[in-house]
Chain A
């Protein structure tokens, strides 16, 4: 396989404006009432004045091990050799929804026909459009920048071949990714000291929750770097 393309997310730079999800809908001509290919979830905890909110932008992560592809009975979901993107051949989809359960990120959506569609990293435009397309090109080579990346006002989302995204990531994020955090499906920046400091009260109050949730945190997801923060299961 050629080099895998992947997403990068920096929660410190995300302001939760939803420009990414709206831009995605526009690029792919998705109706407002359809499920979004890219979602912005506002994680909340506590009550005023001890209230924290963390926006998390998510879409299909084009996982290197693509659980959706493994369970898809008609081979409608394809993990492409050429760029690692996960695309959908809607001419084979039977609409069984098995992929929705298998996906750790809730990426598959279903339209009125019951067929699956999801992010194709703007390999094409519209549901199923990425399938069978030539390899993803970088913008400097004439390729289309993913609309979520293009429209992110804080540059919180990036996308590209693994080596290039790694080069732009912080040393901590890159090291964690290499160590297999989040099953190496996505590169996430640790939350900075200011953000982490704001969570101290929560830290004291959530010791029990931490114990209960230990199993939900993936291998490598525990904090080994002090002060750093991570998100996403996987």
Chain B
């Protein structure tokens, strides 16, 4: 009795299905959705600290503003990216009518992204307009972008009054921000969108892929928020240090999860092995290096520099270069998160046709 594997041919003969299957817009969508979640978490945590913890520092309002703003922009970008890929956009826009299969992660994800977008926009408007915001900046706070845009249109006082008039009580605001946190974490769905595809072993990791997408995306979202904030607030205080540590730890966890997943793929079956080969040979290997470097640098810089700043033990010479270091490393982290998702699609191999004799 002979058992052998013969006549093998990958069922889909390309590493990358033709562009009309899934193109670059998909990794962009998968990434920006979680970055939106991460940026929202940065803004909301600063808001909770300021509102409930009595934090009156200069950094909280900036983290709140940039966090919610990046969340809104990223969520919008994610929506545009995924719609640019669809054949019939109006049906997607009418998602409450058309997307009725709630066992599909695209349907679930659409609702999560839309609700997160709405909550982030509300939080941004409430943080950006009103008497408090006017007091926070120079003069009437018109220097605070994007308040400046509204000021230029000439309706800033009106918008401030309107927002103050409709501003909910603190209890309701706490509830709103808390619900937003839930939906920000729920952007883990981007990982499940790939993880349930049984034909692609690189993706079909129901724990590793969602966990990796969440931690790396949230790290990038929080890191991006902190980096943009530090562009304008050069000083690395204790609060910024705390956020930097959080980004570093999330990057480290992402690195760990990616390492476990890497081992699984390397030891997998035929299609997994083909994915592994694609990731270790040729141009995709450069991308793997970028991802590993981005996560590792963010881990080291975030934890070491962040911990020193959080403990108030940042030496003066380091303090001068600390801002640019954090901005640079978190910028690289942001790029590496996108590269990671592109790699996930470029290296996807479907199970081959197998003949066993």
Binding site for B on A (CB under 8 A): 41, 43-45, 52-54, 56, 58, 67, 70-75, 92-98, 100-106, 110, 113-115, 191, 196, 199-200, 202-204, 206-207, 209-210, 212-217, 221-223, 226-227, 229-233
Contacts and interface: CB of A to CB of B under 8 A. Distances in A.
Give the interface SS of chain B, mostly helix, strand, loop or mixed: loop
Contacts of A70: 101, 103-104
Pick from A115, A209, A233 the residue with the most CB of B within 10 Å. A233
B4 A199 contact: yes
B284 to A, nearest CB: 19
A216 B9 CA distance: 12
A230 B5 CA distance: 10
B101 A75 contact: yes
Contacts of A204: 4
B51 interface: no
B155 interface: no
A79 to B, nearest CB: 12
9 contacts: A43-B9, A71-B196, A73-B107, A94-B86, A94-B91, A97-B85, A209-B4, A209-B5, A213-B8
B193 to A, nearest CB: 8
B271 A216 contact: yes
Contacts of B6: 45, 52, 54, 199, 202-203, 206
Contacts of A231: 353-356
Given A41-B9, A43-B9, A94-B98, A221 B88 contact: no
B104 A106 contact: no
Contact of A216 (B98, B351, B357): B351
A46 to B, nearest CB: 9
Given A101-B348, A104-B199, A215-B269, 15 more contacts: A70-B101, A72-B104, A73-B98, A73-B107, A92-B91, A92-B98, A94-B88, A97-B85, A98-B106, A101-B17, A213-B269, A213-B354, A222-B3, A223-B356, A233-B354
B352 interface: yes
Contact of A213 (B21, B86, B270): B270
Interface of B: 1-9, 11-12, 17, 20-22, 85-88, 91-92, 98-101, 103-107, 110, 193, 196-201, 268-273, 348, 350-357
A148 B356 CA distance: 25
Contacts of B1: 223, 226-227
Nearest to A74: B98
A110 B273 contact: no
Contacts of A73: 98-99, 101, 104, 106-107, 110
Contact of B20 (A114, A191, A213, A233): A114
Given A114-B87, A213-B270, A233-B11, A56 B357 contact: no
Given A216-B352, A230-B355, A98 B104 contact: yes
Contacts of B21: 97, 100-101, 110
A22 B21 CA distance: 24
Contacts of A56: 353, 355
B9 A44 contact: yes
A16 to B, nearest CB: 13
A43 B199 contact: no
Cβ-closest 10 pairs across A and B: A95-B87, A114-B87, A215-B269, A203-B4, A43-B7, A73-B106, A216-B270, A216-B269, A226-B1, A210-B5
Contacts of A206: 4-6
Nearest to B103: A70
Pick from B12, B98, B271 the residue with the most CB of A within 10 Å. B98
Given A72-B104, A101-B22, A102-B197, A95 B351 contact: no
Contacts of B3: 203, 210, 222-223
Contacts of A230: 355-356
B7 A101 contact: no
Contacts of B348: 101
Contacts of A113: 87
Contact of B354 (A94, A97, A191, A232): A232
